[in-house]
Structure 1
Amino acid sequence: MMDALKTLLLLFFLHTATSLPVPEPCEQKVVRLEEELRGLVRVISDQHHYILELHRLHSQQLENIPNSHLGPDNLYKDCSQVFADGNVATGIYVVRPDGSPTALTVYCDMSNGGGWTVFQRRRDGSENFDRAWVEYKQGFGDLYSPDGEFWLGNEPIHHLTSQGNYDLHIDLEDFDGNHRYAEYKNFRVDGEKDQFQLHLGEYSGDAGDALATVGSASRPSGVKFSTFDHMTHDRDKDSDTNCLSHSLSLHRCDSGNLNGHYYNGPYQAMTSDGVVWYTWHGLWYSIKSVVMMVRAAELQHPLVRQLGNEAPGGAVDSRSDQ
């Protein structure tokens, strides 16, 4: 009996000993730790390359900004002056409109006659345009990327358009690749104390005049700017709908609302709150792409100006700077 008990105890201890985890040999542990270390090195290397790529992209953006130092007395006032001075490359420039407390980084479009200061661009809905009053005042988005979406800011737009007589140009594209445009004379945006009120003159183009009553005889005072946190008095009083105007709109605030909600398709909107140009596609179609820009009405192409300053026989007219 005692022998049988001893045998059972021996078998129990042998089973327990064999079921315990075998300590990892030192060589295998070193191999495992070395592999983990190599993995960490790869992660660090990937992060390093990512940082270098960010620096490269940032440097490319900085290259688009003029590298010459411009003091407060010799900055261009807008892209029209940039173009008139012989700069014909579309891209980023630094300007300082009259009355602006600081210089502005702006995107100048030198196509379509040149000299256009772009203040709004929408391509794919990557930027949220449902913003508060202060955001629309100061501006937001990415103007450095050719396809970046942005709003330059109501304050900068006010300073730009208060310098003289400006034209407004609007490029529109639908989801079938069709393009239309609208232009308005005498475009001006008042200052904040006047609720960034919009003024427009004569229309031309092939998109239709969706802003027909803004600044016209039927509404000579134009339309004041509104956001979800800052509804203007005339908007609250006159509108019979609960829609919001994010600039460039009519008495019906959705008829020409180019800052509306972006939909990834023409008829996905359940209400007329999309990127709307009523006279082209109606209230229910949300536009795919919009670019809005301004230019001094008296702008003359630098080549035309140069030829105009040449007297007969090729001599330069001494009155050119008068």
Structure 2
Amino acid sequence: MWNWIIFCGLVVCLICLTDQTQGQKTPSVVQGTDCTQIKTLSPRATSGVYVIQPAGVTSPFKVYCEMLADGGWTVFQMRTGAEVLFNKTWAEYEQGFGHLQKDHWLGLSKVFVLTKGGRGRSSTMRVDLWDFEGGTAFAEYSNFRLGTEKESYKLNVGAYKGNAGDAIRGKYASIDQNGFGFSTTDKDNDGCSPCILFGDIAVDKCSFLDGGGWWYSRCGSASLNGDWHPAGEHIGWNSGLHWATWKGPVPYSTRASRMMIKTVWEKIIIAN
């Protein structure tokens, strides 16, 4: 009987050390406030799942860190296929879903605490895109942050740089998504009441048209949480992984996307 009790105890310990949601063993101790700090403290740190605890957060949580030459990036969105559906509710987008090492959405509440900022601290957001022809592109935005839950996690981005185009601000001013709250099929915060698209189609909720949750305006030219479409079926869909300033004019759903955050510390000069 004692052997059976010991065996059961070992099983419980193994379960505690294993991330059942993400399917891999990860340390249970906090390793940093975010991926940027982990990379700074451990320059040889490699990409993978880490436990972080941002300032002011009582419960640590796991994230996937992309450790690059320019620092550690906290991944909050990854799309590579159709295994994980992104047509989710507000509650699911707020809490997060998917598999950290594969397709996932980290959660609006977690991205909020990661980008709250503070004295001398801001966040850069990077969007990486892959097409079906072997091409890649990226977009970076300085001063990235989300509003509070009461503000529906409103999107705020600063200056753009990259070669994918500034799809968040869009091809023309009236579809600028900067400053809009996050929308899902069960919680609408877009700028349509309604929008007239494609000449004669009236749309009240962009999330129904584009699929997935996003910071829609009217409805906008960036939307990476729609339906994933395979090669040969990735052109012409209203839903999809769209970054219209990179691919177009016909709607083009990208093969893969990744969104991630890096902390930037500014030098504070104290006068004598």
**Which residue number corresponds to residue 6 of structure 2?**
none
Contact 1:266–1:288 at 8 Å: present in 2 too? no
CA drift of 1:76 comes to: 1.8
Q: Secondary structure at the match of 1:81?
A: helix
CA RMSD of aligned residues (A): 3.0
Q: Secondary structure at the match of 1:172?
A: strand
Task: Quote how far apart the aligned CAs of 1:228 are.
Answer: 0.4
TM-score by length of 2: 0.76
Alignment partners' CA distance in 2, 1:285 and 1:79: 32
Q: Residue 92 of structure 1 contacts residue 106 of structure 1 at CA under 8 Å; is this kept in 2?
A: yes
Give secondary structure in 2 for the equivalent of 1:99.
coil
SS at match of 2:112: helix
Whether the 8 Å contact between 1:266 and 1:287 is mirrored in structure 2 is: no
| 1:155 pairs with 2:112 | no
Distance 1:250 1:89 in 2: 35
Structure whose CA Rg is larger: 1
- Aligned partner of 1:76 in structure 2 is 32
CA distance in 2, matches of 1:106, 1:118: 7
Aligned: 1:255 with 2:209: no
Question: Is 1:167 matched up with 2:124?
Answer: yes
Kindly indicate whether the alpha-carbon contact (under 8 Å) linking 2:169 and 2:177 is maintained by their aligned counterparts in 1.
Answer: no
What is the distance in 1 between the residues matched to 2:92 and 2:247?
29
Q: Secondary structure at the match of 1:134?
A: helix
CA distance in 2, matches of 1:84, 1:92: 16
Spell out the pairing of 1:189-204 with structure 2 (5 A cutoff): 189-204=146-161
Identity %: 34
Q: 2:255 matched to which residue of 1?
A: 288
CA gap of 1:228–1:250, structure 2 versus 1, over 3 A, is closer
- Counterpart Cα distance in 2 of 1:264 and 1:223: 30
In structure 1, distance between residues paired with 2:194 and 2:243: 21
CA distance in 2 between counterparts of 1:180 and 1:114 reads 19
| Greater CA drift, 151-160 or 268-277 | 268-277
Runs of 4+ in 1 over 6 A off after TM superposition: 216-221
In structure 1, the residue matched to 2:27 is 66
| Aligned counterparts, 1:1-322, within 5 A | 61-62=24-25, 65-66=26-27, 69-70=29-30, 76-87=32-43, 88-143=45-100, 145=101, 148-163=102-117, 164-212=121-169, 222-232=179-189, 234-237=190-193, 239-240=195-196, 241=203, 242-244=205-207, 246=212, 249=215, 251-265=217-231, 267-268=233-234, 271-282=237-248, 283-298=250-265
- Deviation of 1:213 after TM superposition, in Å, equals 5.7
- Confirm or deny: 8 A CA contact 1:254 1:273 kept in the other structure: no
Alpha-carbon distance in structure 2 between the residues aligned to 1:266 and 1:161: 38
Q: 1:82 to 1:161 in 2, by over 3 A?
A: same
1:26-63 CA-to-partner distances (Å, cap 9, x unmatched) read xxxxxxxxxxxxxxxxxxxxxxxxxxxx99xx58821x
Aligned length: 234
| Structure richer in helix, relative to its length | 1
SS at match of 1:297: strand
Give the structure 2 partner of residue 308 of structure 1.
none
Output the CA distance in 1 between the equivalents of 2:34 and 2:195.
Answer: 35
> Deviation per CA, 1:278-301, whole angstroms, max 9, x where unpaired?
01112511011001000012289x
Structure 1 residues 281 and 167, CA gap change in structure 2 (3 angstroms): same
The Cα offsets for residues 1-37 of structure 1, whole Å up to 9 and x where unpaired, read as xxxxxxxxxxxxxxxxxxxxxxxxxxxxxxxxxxxxx
Deviates most, 239-248 or 259-268: 239-248
Provide the rounded CA distance (Å) in 2 between the counterparts of 1:181 and 1:256: 13
Matched letter for residue 158 of structure 1? F
Q: Which has the higher contact order (CA 8 A, sep 6+)?
A: 2
Q: Shift in Å at residue 124 of structure 1?
A: 1.3
Q: State the TM-score, normalized to the length of structure 1.
A: 0.65
The unaligned stretches of length 5 or more in structure 2 are 1-13, 197-202, 268-272
